[in-house]
Structure 1
Amino acid sequence: MKLVIAIVQDDDASDVIDAITDAGFMVTKLATTGGFLKSGNTTLMMGVEKEKVDDVIKVVKEICSTRSQIVSSPNPMESGSSIYVPYPIEVEVGGATVFVVDVDQFVKI
């Protein structure tokens, strides 16, 4: 048994959950926050048999594509000024970070 932990962007979470459950897997959803953009992420946890791990990763990969997004970033303070002026920067968002962990014991009560 393996524990698959997938961290996805909130915009993709609903579609990923639907696709995973349609493929016959159980999933637990946790609301999390990313450190870089301080935006909402969703962490999905799935207990999967070892031979099915690639199937789960394939589903996540099909839904979670990367894309560009414009976000505001604070401009460094100019000398003698205490005002931050935000300016837009383009960053890559989306995709997924997936961890696969061995499970020593699984008990369903």
Structure 2
Amino acid sequence: PCSGLGVLRRNPDAKWNRSKKQMKIYHEQQVKFLDNVSSVIKPSGVLVYAVCSTEPEEGEDVIGAFLAKHSAYTVDRTLPGLPVAARSLVNDHGFLKTFPHLHHMDGFFAVCMKRGG
């Protein structure tokens, strides 16, 4: 579940249908989802988290909360399989982010995390 705020250009009504309370609920659901999924990832396995939102509450804040509770996981900055042309979309923290006004595509957040072996 996510707010879908990264796809406003295709669904402009979403801007008026989201509240701070809803954003908090999305954040909590996303952290819980990652908590649950993390237990089935094998050592040295990879967990990819992606949402069609550019809001920190659904991206960076979710990953921060997850990593604070799961020390076995780290952000995999090598991003295996990511095309060379897309590497410029990755910031210094290893987060891939796109913005409609900069990249002429939907807003998106993604991160690849690796479980320690």
Range class of TM-score, shorter chain? 0.3 to 0.5
TM-score using structure 2 length: 0.33
Higher normalized strand content (fraction of residues): 1
TM-score using structure 1 length: 0.35
Q: Which has the larger radius of gyration?
A: 1
